[in-house]
Structure 1
């Protein structure tokens, strides 16, 4: 994306995080004053009800969605391994088919050689010389017989080698099938964990009244804003001046075009994404494929210091590398946050940063 368009991103960032927070360090965080509500009558139930303290609810939701993100990464990893194993099995099946065809051809040759030996009686060259009416002709043919014997020996050796190759391919395919079955089990377990965590979170939110949901949304925004302020107060943004590479601009342009699309766990687009689905597809669109999961992106891609990051780099979050976002400049990221949310712009420091990786190092 051309960086003459930064104002567009800055405007989006303003809506999400506030210009004063994203643009300058040293800004103090202040929670908005609560709006006084009507005094409940004697029969009114207490708000919030016992056990439904909204800050505790927010923390519980954060944990549920974080656990769902961890399970999603496990699901995505198992899915990637399953794809690789399936491709390996297909390749082995082709080799087995080719080997069987070759073996059939070799057996035909062996059968022809056996039939020819039967017609000649299987008589050795010396006996044929002594019994022949034309010893000269036998001598002329003796060389051909020896060549035939050597060819037969070679044929038998080729048959044995081909049979061994087929057995090796079959054994390898069986091993891949075992691994594939293991990954299917892992995927099913991860899917179950994801669904349990998301269902628990949705149930928790559904029990809130409308006004409590609105207060909860404000609490989430305030928590993100407070974290972003703390990050900026370190003065880190004053040190970040990296310019996007050509591929980085393409990746940012792709991510920007996905704004507003829903988060769906396991999704890689084009209509919905999870966090690493968005970043992996953005970099694939830029012509530089990266690992599918946030954990593998953290493991395999080059780490860079935060002060050296540039638009297009990926920021990995939480100690377990369970979330990833794309840095787009001006202290902002684009990411797919969690179920119930859409691809959006947020502050780069709004979550605990594990580190930064660069796909096109």
Structure 2
């Protein structure tokens, strides 16, 4: 049977398709606009910030952009789910309306037959009136018709009630969908602002310093953050040969997939196969192993069993910072593979490169 569902909005999907292009354009424009020896805003003319200060500010901006990216990913994931829910509900509404129409047609034929015999039942007259619902919901009215007709009326009342409920649910879902779309759009603009600011700062550094920053590992202050004990001792342990074997066959497949992505560019909001953000790389790699990870690093933190860092095995997810805003995959020898930040490519870095909040084994 053909569905009568009207197509629902899908603007977020279009937004997601142009996300990376928008960010790249904004970043490139900012880089071209900023002079190579630009001073920090507010600093005296002709002065420039020390390279170390600029690098620290860039690190902070990238962290803030990464947090905004994960919020964007969460909002987009919710909107995508709501879009599917709305589509399914709209299909049910269309089928429900067709069912109601068939029931009303059948009862109308009964009324027509009675009319020809000169005795139309009052219940059927009201049923076919412009506002039958109120009458039909009064159960006493069913006493006016006989067995077969009464059952058909009961079925119609139930079908009309279900149809009203479905329509109300569709309206609520579409309202939530619009809220999630707005949230995703706000996060998108926030990410682009942070990335443009980071680009301007990087452009203020001398070329050798910019190149050195691109080669440097991620860093983030006190590495003892979290409840994993001594990170230094744990890192030394997971670098041993005993920790080089994956914990499961699917973990080994995910590691192989992550290795195949080495050199791919970072793109916020991207889940591969040509570009990735941090959680997108984890989701894609485990997807190759038939495992469906959630979209965000915060959700991935709880997508399996937590293990001590000292027991990390290849394929485990290493989640960073107290807010779980970055994630990488442990691959053995004290290293992770991750998508670091815009402008960098998927690469190896030391597992202890940033404060570790948890290690999760999917």
Which TM-score band (shorter chain)? 0.7 to 0.9
Structure 1 residue 106: deviation in Å? 0.2
1:172 is the counterpart of 2:175: no
Change (3 A) 1:208 1:347: same
In 2, Cα distance between the equivalents of 1:346 and 1:292?
Answer: 22
Structure 1 residue 54: deviation in Å? 1.4
Among 207, 211, 231, the alignment partner of 1:210 is 207
In 2, Cα distance between the equivalents of 1:90 and 1:233?
Answer: 51
1:193 is the counterpart of 2:190: yes
In 2, Cα distance between the equivalents of 1:280 and 1:161?
Answer: 43
Among 107, 110, 118, the alignment partner of 2:107 is 110
Among 109, 119, 122, the alignment partner of 1:122 is 119
Give SS of 2:302's match.
helix
Structure 1 unaligned regions, length at least 5: 1-48, 125-145
Structure 1 window deviating more from structure 2 (209-218 vs 168-177): it is 209-218
Contact map agreement 2:279 2:327 (CA 8 A) in 1: yes
In 1, Cα distance between the equivalents of 2:116 and 2:221?
Answer: 94
Q: Which residue of the partner structure matches residue 331 of structure 2?
A: 328
Structure 2 unaligned regions, length at least 5: 1-45, 122-142
Change (3 A) 1:121 1:66: same
Structure 1 residue 300: deviation in Å? 3.9
Structure 1 residue 312: deviation in Å? 0.4
Matches within 5 A, 1:337-348: 337-348=340-351
In 2, Cα distance between the equivalents of 1:318 and 1:225?
Answer: 10
Q: Which residue of the partner structure matches residue 306 of structure 2?
A: 303
Contact map agreement 1:275 1:335 (CA 8 A) in 2: yes
Q: Which residue of the partner structure matches residue 15 of structure 1?
A: none
Q: Which residue of the partner structure matches residue 262 of structure 1?
A: 265
In 1, Cα distance between the equivalents of 2:81 and 2:218?
Answer: 43
Give SS of 1:292's match.
coil
The one-character-per-residue Cα deviations of 1:112-145 (angstroms, maximum 9, x if unpaired) are 1111222333399xxxxxxxxxxxxxxxxxxxxx
Contact map agreement 1:54 1:216 (CA 8 A) in 2: no
Structure 1 residue 156: deviation in Å? 1.3
In 2, Cα distance between the equivalents of 1:199 and 1:250?
Answer: 36
Q: Which residue of the partner structure matches residue 40 of structure 2?
A: none
In 2, Cα distance between the equivalents of 1:85 and 1:259?
Answer: 33
- Answer 1 or 2: higher relative contact order, Cα 8 Å, separation at least 6: 1
In 1, Cα distance between the equivalents of 2:218 and 2:90?
Answer: 56
Structure 1 runs of 4+ aligned residues shifted over 6 Å read 224-228
In 1, Cα distance between the equivalents of 2:316 and 2:175?
Answer: 37
Q: Which residue of the partner structure matches residue 28 of structure 1?
A: none
Among 78, 84, 89, the alignment partner of 1:87 is 84
1:238 is the counterpart of 2:241: no
Structure with greater helix percent: 1
Matches within 5 A, 1:1-361: 50-122=47-119, 149-214=146-211, 216-217=213-214, 220-221=216-217, 233-234=232-233, 236-238=235-237, 241-242=242-243, 243-244=245-246, 245-359=248-362
In 1, Cα distance between the equivalents of 2:83 and 2:325?
Answer: 26
Contact map agreement 2:218 2:354 (CA 8 A) in 1: no
Contact map agreement 1:61 1:201 (CA 8 A) in 2: yes
Structure 1 residue 191: deviation in Å? 0.3
Structure 1 residue 238: deviation in Å? 2.5
Normalised by the length of structure 2, the TM-score is 0.74
Q: Which has the larger radius of gyration?
A: 1
RMSD (Å), alpha carbons: 2.7
Contact map agreement 1:294 1:316 (CA 8 A) in 2: yes
Change (3 A) 1:231 1:61: farther
Give SS of 1:325's match.
strand
Structure 1 residue 212: deviation in Å? 3.5
